Structure 1
Amino acid sequence: MSGDDRQSELAREHKARQEKRAAEENTKGRRNTFIGAGVAVVVVAAGIFAATTLTKKDDAQKTAAESSPSASPSASASASPTDLPTEPPKKTGPVSCTYARDKNSLQKFVGMPPKKANIKFKKWTINTNRGTIVVDLMPDAAPCSINSLAFLNSKKFYDNQKCYRLVTPAVSPVHLLQCGDPLAKADGVRAEDGTGTSGYTFPDENGDIPLGKGVVFLTQPGEDKNLSNSNFAFSLSDQNTQIQGPFNVVGMVSQGMDILLNLAPTEADLIVNKEDLANDGGATAPRKPVIIKSMSFK
């Protein structure tokens, strides 16, 4: 076989693999795992490079300023009002939300949330078999996301669900727990885990809030936008701040962080899915399941 023939054969095989993967993805549905470990390595490395570059630049600017005869403590300490940080504007009056039926996903459909968001909820309590987690909500930043979560809870959508994905520093540069797929087995084997939803989607509400330790946010498929659904995640490390959104951030863990951080102390406590770590599907799961028993909003 000539070199040209071999290249043609390899190209055909590559195309066949792509078509097979595309067909499998269409069959399985969109995976709500927001980022794979391999991609995270690149993002984190880029973040470290950027931080190092900015630090060097800041140091150079500081040295130049200190050596300049015009520089003075009084001049550097003064700042105009426009330089000072301001609080984000508060939402006033009723908030109208847009929810769209999504029939293309694996799903458990229990209806659509009301369009008028209930923005009175400030606390979200999640009772699991591993302990109770409390989240301080951000209704001004994510009224429609919280409205969706509260609606699904009123239908007992999350009761007895297993959180299907847990990745820790032992196997990944990111550390998080993901929940919200009503069909998930959380066995570390089922390729469809993470593709199940509530059967509707809604637009992004915020995307500029860093995913620091303790942040709770909604996940959506791959790098897509405006496809938030029933899936949500707990960020368990400040390393996740290097990950780019948009993701609807709904709040911050105020109780139970110790529980979340100790769900899988070692790699042996995980059922590692190599396809998950390569961002090709499936989900690494905790050997001891994390099961949502009930939720409440107040």
Structure 2
Amino acid sequence: MTTGKDRQRKLAREHHERQMARRAQREAKAKRNTMIGSAIGVIVVVGGIVAATTLLGGGDSEAGVNAAATPTPTAPTAPPSPTPTPSPTPLDQVRCDYKAEAAGNVKKVGAPPAKPDLKAKTITFKTSQGDVVVEFNTKQTPCTVNSFVHLAKENFFDGTKCHRLTASKDTGLDVLQCGDPLAKGDGTQQDGTGGPDYRFGDEALGSSQYEPGTVAMANSGPNTNGSQFFFVYGEFPVAQIGANYTPFGKVVKGMDVLKKVAEGGNITPKQGDGEQGPTPPKLPVEIKDVTISHKS
């Protein structure tokens, strides 16, 4: 038989059991929520890492591997700017430099003016064998032409003799050389050593192949021009000799005179002090007078 106390104890126990059951349910639910939240947090973090590494090219996705394997392209390096070629000095601004030559076999005439004569057109050599007219190359060789104008005004060439004739059959070179104010034209060692009392620089080297008719400056080395010059009447092998002589003009009349002198042959040079003089032409060529014409 159940008493009142037993009944109270039973009710109390059942209440306690219901409380424990609800508590267990609450704890289980809380645990599930915690696990789900943690999982979502992990997924979010991992997803962020994957996204970040893919964008930076450092992940394991195809895009990431390719980005890591392929170097980032760089802009092509621009080639260095070429050094600008100096513009040639305008012809009307050219100034010539003539250096004094105090020693040696010189004929004193003083230096030409620094400002060149740009109107000079031709020079006519009146020789004992006929006239030879040369058209100046003033544009390319203003200082050389200026020197010739100066020497002509000083009557520098009057009475001078051409002192060397060479033939291609002997030397491979066909030239007649003139312009030494002291030359005797007889093959002595002294011939070919004279000039004015100044020197000046080379011009337009390499601009000519020295074809027949070319008139160029003779020299004893770079930038040693004075008054001596030569006419090319035939062969001039540039490959062997070099383009080392300022070509200041071209024969426009008188090639027949040069050919006649060349056909006459040259004189065997005289010996002197163990050295050999030049080979003058057998047909003497004396320059009687020189005249300069100018552009109108």
Range of TM-score over shorter length: 0.5 to 0.7
Cα displacement (A) at 1:200: 0.8
1:94 is displaced (CA, Å) by 3.2
Q: Does 1:225 align with 2:243?
A: no
CA distance in 1 between partners of 2:233 and 2:136 (Å): 17
The residue type equivalent to 1:113 in the other structure is: P
TM-score by length of 2: 0.64
**How many matched pairs?**
203
The answer to whether 1:293 aligns with 2:292 is no
Alignment of 1:259-278 (within 5 A): 259-266=257-264, 269-273=265-269
Is contact 1:166–1:178 with CA below 8 Å preserved after alignment?
yes
Alpha-carbon distance between aligned partners in 2 of 1:249 and 1:91, rounded to the nearest angstrom: 20
Matched-pair contact (CA < 8 Å) for 1:212–1:241: no
Assess if the C-alpha contact under 8 Å between 1:212 and 1:240 holds in 2. Answer: no
Aligned-pair CA distance for 1:199: 1.6
Moved over 3 A (4+): 88-92, 238-242
1:214 touches 1:234 (CA, 8 Å); kept in 2? yes
Residue 210 of structure 1 aligns to a residue whose secondary structure is: coil
1:239 corresponding residue in structure 2:
236
1:94 alignment partner in structure 2: 93
Secondary structure at the aligned position of 1:187 is classed as: coil
CA distance in 2, matches of 1:181, 1:295: 14
Give the conservation status (yes or no) of the 8 Å contact 1:168–1:174.
yes
Secondary structure of the equivalent of 1:271?
A: coil
- Name which structure has the greater RCO, CA cutoff 8 Å, separation 6+: 1
State the distance in 2 between where 1:202 and 1:136 align. Answer: 21
SS at match of 1:285: coil
Cα distance between partner residues in 1 of 2:247 and 2:271:
27
How far, CA to CA, are the matches of 1:173 and 1:274 in structure 2? 21
Counterpart Cα distance in 1 of 2:147 and 2:250: 17
Are 1:184 and 2:183 matched, yes or no? yes
1:102-124 Cα deviation digits (max 9, x unpaired): 12321111111011000111111
Aligned to 1:206: 204
SS at match of 1:122: strand
Q: Counterparts of 2:259 and 2:138 in 1: how far apart (Å)?
A: 26
Does the Cα contact within 8 Å between 1:192 and 1:281 map onto a contact in 2? no
Conserved? CA contact 2:96–2:114, under 8 Å? yes
1:263 is paired with a residue whose SS is helix
CA contact (8 A) 2:168 2:174 kept: yes
Q: Which residue in the other structure is 1:107 paired with? A: 106
One-letter amino acid of the structure 2 residue matched with residue 99 of structure 1: Y
CA-based RMSD: 2.1
How many Å apart are 1:261 and its aligned residue? 1.1
1:256 paired to 2:254: yes
- Aligned 8 A contact 2:172 2:235 in 1: no
Distance 2:144 2:112 in 1: 10
Unaligned segments of structure 1, at least 5 residues: 1-87
3-state SS of 1:238 partner: coil
Q: Describe the shift of the 1:153–1:120 C-alpha distance in structure 2 as closer, same or farther (beyond 3 A).
A: same
How big is each residue's C-alpha offset from its partner over 1:8-63, in whole Å with a ceiling of 9 and x where there is no partner? xxxxxxxxxxxxxxxxxxxxxxxxxxxxxxxxxxxxxxxxxxxxxxxxxxxxxxxx
Matched, 1:175 2:171: no
For the 8 Å contact 2:122–2:135, the answer to whether it is kept is yes
